[in-house]
Amino acid sequence: MTRSVLVLGAGGNFGARAAEAFSTAGWQVRRYARGTDMAVAARGADLIVNALNPPNYHNWATLIPEITESVLAAARSSGAAVLVPGNVYVYGDQKGPWGPDTPHLPVARKGRIRTAMEARYREAADKGQRVILLRGGDFVDPVSPATIWRIVMLKGVSQGRLTAMGNPEARRAYAWLPDMARVAVALAEHSDLPAFADVPFPGQANSLSQIAGTLERMTGQSYQVKKFPWWALKLASPFWELARELSEMRYLHDLDHRLDPSPLAGLLPDFRPTTLEQMLTAHRPVRG
């Protein structure tokens, strides 16, 4: 029998890739329309993918809890499991690798909001709700114009320039969204997960210096690493919400971090991730 998934936020980065991956795997995919009755939309669904996020971090403190409660109510009424793409904000500035047993010690407001959100899903799982939290680092997708790779780091690559938003030697966790979406499908189809499955998606953990070195080996050309002008965001913060929100998470660009690959390897031993070289090739970072 064909399984059915309701994708919330199917027009966003993770949601679009999840809808594509579930459809490819033979699931019936429904795309939720914002503002409609979520419980009605979820009737008959086997899974709800909650990829809803307020754009540009807008009003997270109010909207994230509201979305969470709506998702859990829809899941209760339909009997569907829930899959949520998590992030690394909950870990704060602890040393890694980060995994399911790493304490949640957020150091930023958005980290505290996400910590409370995850606690609510855990509470629901304790009462019988099935929840998969698939945790990834910074999203990377060759078709999305709104990722950090596109709008900052690789923006000047055709002129031989990369932009560092922090320490260029610090590794940062990156989630290649086509891979992360394939993993989401595999976990949804997995027959032996706990009621609350906290699964890190390790993706790639690379410093900008490593990315520059990989590009140089691929192209035979040299690349300069420039510093991102955080001062400009600071000046814009009083009247630009996104500038304020990005500045709050600046610490992650200086913090060497990665996600523990062992939980996913134990669950999906045959999964093979996209390599850094393949990721860069897909972005077509060619010198002019």
pLDDT in single tens digits along all 288 residues of the chain: 789 999 999 999 999 999 999 999 999 999 999 999 999 999 999 999 999 988 777 888 899 999 999 999 999 999 999 999 999 999 999 998 999 999 999 999 999 999 999 999 999 999 999 999 999 999 999 998 888 898 899 999 989 999 999 999 999 999 999 999 999 999 999 989 999 999 999 999 999 999 999 999 999 999 999 999 988 878 877 777 777 878 889 999 999 999 999 999 999 999 999 999 999 999 875 444
pLDDT of residue 285: 58
Pairing mode, strands 47-50 and 131-135: unpaired
Residue 26 lies in a domain: yes
80 closest CA partner among 12, 10, 137, 32 = 32
Residue 196 lies in a domain: yes
Residue 191 lies in a domain: yes
| DSSP H or E run through 276 | helix 276-282
Length of the chain: 288
Total domains present in the chain? 1
Residue 169 lies in a domain: no
Residue 266 lies in a domain: yes
pTM score of the predicted model: 0.94
Segments of 62-170 assigned E as strands: 81-86, 131-135, 138-140, 161-164
Work out whether the CA dihedral 93, 94, 95, 96 comes out positive or negative.
negative
**Where residue 126 sits, what CATH number does that domain have?**
3.40.50.720
The tokens 């019936």 sit on which residue?
28
pLDDT of residue 235: 80
How many Å separate Cα 279 from the centre of its chain?
16
Domain containing residue 30: 4-137+175-203+258-271
Residue 253 lies in a domain: no
Residue 40 lies in a domain: yes
Decide: 94 and 103 in contact? Cβ < 8 Å.
Answer: yes
Pairing mode, strands 204-206 and 172-176: antiparallel
pLDDT of residue 111: 96
Residue 219 lies in a domain: no
177 closest CA partner among 215, 149, 207 = 149
